[in-house]
Structure 1
Amino acid sequence: MQVLLFALLLAVLPSASAATVTNISNSQETVAPLLPGLDAPAMTLKNSQGKAVDLAKLYQNKTTLVVVYRGGWCPYCVRQLNGIQKIEPQLKELGVQIVAISPDSSQSLAKSTIESPNYMLLSDAELAYSQALGLAYYLDDKTAKAYRNKLGVNFVDLDGKDRVALPVPAVFVIDKKGLIQFQYANPNYKVRLDENVLLAAATAASKL
């Protein structure tokens, strides 16, 4: 296991934290997301107020729709989150809670207007959750440079070389036992699952 220095670059408030890199693929095409029937990662992440949230306990409360996205700077992710907001009333009626997780810091999440009583934003600033799900990957150098200069995303210092790590966007439906009942991940970040398909998957899982 290698312990590496992880720096989270923010547009207005830089910060740094130590992270352990254990499962980051070399490209988005080679990620291996967890499949339905497997246990969802149970760990602690911080919400937009900086408070710790125990995912294992969160899963037990309700059927959980987990949305893993690249960050609030990504227009495709914002569009996806806005689309899911449209079906939030139906999900709430089904007893399904929405948890959206990204590498954004708690400070960045606090600026979002998305969060609601049934829609929680969590920070995976060290990509621990994304790695556990099998979604984390390194960007190629050219893309990484563009992202670093314009956006401010996660960087890993690997053997003296900065690399950018991001999660492949994905959605998971997790039952109260913590088992994954549905999964969709697409290496092409521009392609997102239609919210009506997601609603159908959540409906089926809520009946288990």
Structure 2
Amino acid sequence: MKSLVAALMLLLALPALAKPLALDELSVAPLMNGQTIPPALVKTLAGKVVDLNTFLAGKPSVIFFYRGGWCPFCNSQMGQLKAIEPKLIEMGFQLIGISPDSPEKLNASMLSQSLPYTLLSDTELQAMQAFGLGYYSSARITERYMSKMKLDNLLRPTPDGDMRLVLPVPAIYITDASGLIHFQYVNPNYKVRAAPKLILTAASLVPQP
């Protein structure tokens, strides 16, 4: 009974915590250092709905948002993170990737790249909105990506009623065991990602319990 009440309270709180989708990638308002990870519902590879905070389970974490397994820049970054994951684990961190890809596509990415770390699905955009990273792609980009990349992402209506593809600005967040953000790297230029050395250096400066 208590767990049911807690779940209902979380669902009621989520709309109030979600930030509106930005009109473009330059207008996002991401969470900053010193803030804590908000509640957000995501899906596991098996399609199970979980609260991100519960999934983090009070463990220092490196969380990265990426556009999807169809993005070559994202795939390159995922490979770089795979290379440094053993060092992050040694430092006490878990590595978690979040994208709007469906659980099925996440499974495909895991298999194709032999990824050992956790991927979570944000098809409902709750995580990217809670972090202030979600934005509407332009009409040109929406048409191009949906046709050439064969995406199955659901289009969302803009305030003007246009149906657009919603993506997260790629980002890295490093938190301590309490969910407090100690480092964030958010770059509207999706071609530029945080260097592995920068991530390891920032993680090394996070106080451990």
Q: Do they fold alike, i.e. is TM over 0.5? A: yes
Instruction: List aligned pairs for 1:72-111, cutoff 5 A.
Output: 72-111=69-108
Would the aligned equivalents of 2:32 and 2:181 in 1 still touch at CA under 8 Å?
A: yes
Please give the alpha-carbon distance, in whole angstroms, between the structure 1 residues aligned to 2:23 and 2:166. Answer: 9
Q: Judging changes above 3 Å, is the alpha-carbon distance between structure 1 residues 85 and 188 closer, same or farther for their aligned structure 2 residues?
A: same
Look up the match of 1:39. 36
Q: How far, CA to CA, are the matches of 1:154 and 1:202 in structure 2?
A: 35
- Cα deviation, 1:151-171, whole Å, max 9, x if unaligned, reads 213411346532111100000
**CA distances 1:84-135 after superposition (whole Å, capped 9, x unpaired):** 111011011111000100000011111122442xx10000001111011111
Deviates more, 1:132-141 or 1:106-115: 106-115
Q: Identity over the aligned pairs, expressed in percent?
A: 41
Q: Which runs of 5+ in 1 are unaligned?
A: 1-19
Contact 1:100–1:122 (CA under 8 A) maintained in structure 2: yes
State the match for 1:157 in structure 2.
Answer: 157
CA–CA separation in structure 1 for the residues paired with 2:103 and 2:21: 22
Bigger shift: 99-108 or 55-64? 55-64
- How many residue pairs get aligned? The number is 187
Offset of residue 37 of structure 1: 0.5
User: Under a length normalisation based on structure 2, what TM-score does the superposition of the two structures give?
Assistant: 0.83
Tell me, in whole angstroms, the C-alpha distance in 1 between the residues paired with 2:202 and 2:36. Answer: 17
How far does the alpha carbon of each residue in 1:33-80 deviate from its partner, in whole angstroms, 9 at most, with x for none? Answer: 110101112223111111233322233432010000000000000000
Q: Is the 8 A contact 2:41 2:126 kept in 1?
A: no
1:55 corresponds in structure 2 to: 52
Residue 124 of structure 1: aligned partner:
122
Greater share of residues in strand: 1
- Which is worse superposed, 147-156 or 77-86? 147-156
- The 8 Å contact of residues 135 and 167 in structure 2, kept in 1 or not, is answered as yes
| Secondary structure of residue in 1 paired with 2:75 | helix
Please give the alpha-carbon distance, in whole angstroms, between the structure 2 residues aligned to 1:35 and 1:54.
20
**CA RMSD, Structure 1 to Structure 2 (Å):** 1.8
Indicate conservation of the 8 Å contact 1:60/1:177, yes or no. no
3-state secondary structure, aligned to 1:87:
helix
Q: Which structure carries more helix by proportion?
A: 2
Aligned equivalents of 2:129 and 2:101: distance in 1? 15
Instruction: Work out the CA distance in 2 between the residues paired with 1:86 and 1:44.
Output: 28
Is contact 2:174–2:181 with CA below 8 Å preserved after alignment?
Answer: yes
Distance, in Å, in 2 between the alignment partners of 1:53 and 1:206 is: 27
Relative to the length of structure 1, the TM-score reads: 0.84
Checking the alignment, whether the CA contact within 8 Å between 1:63 and 1:206 is kept in structure 2 is: no
Amino acid at match of 1:34: L
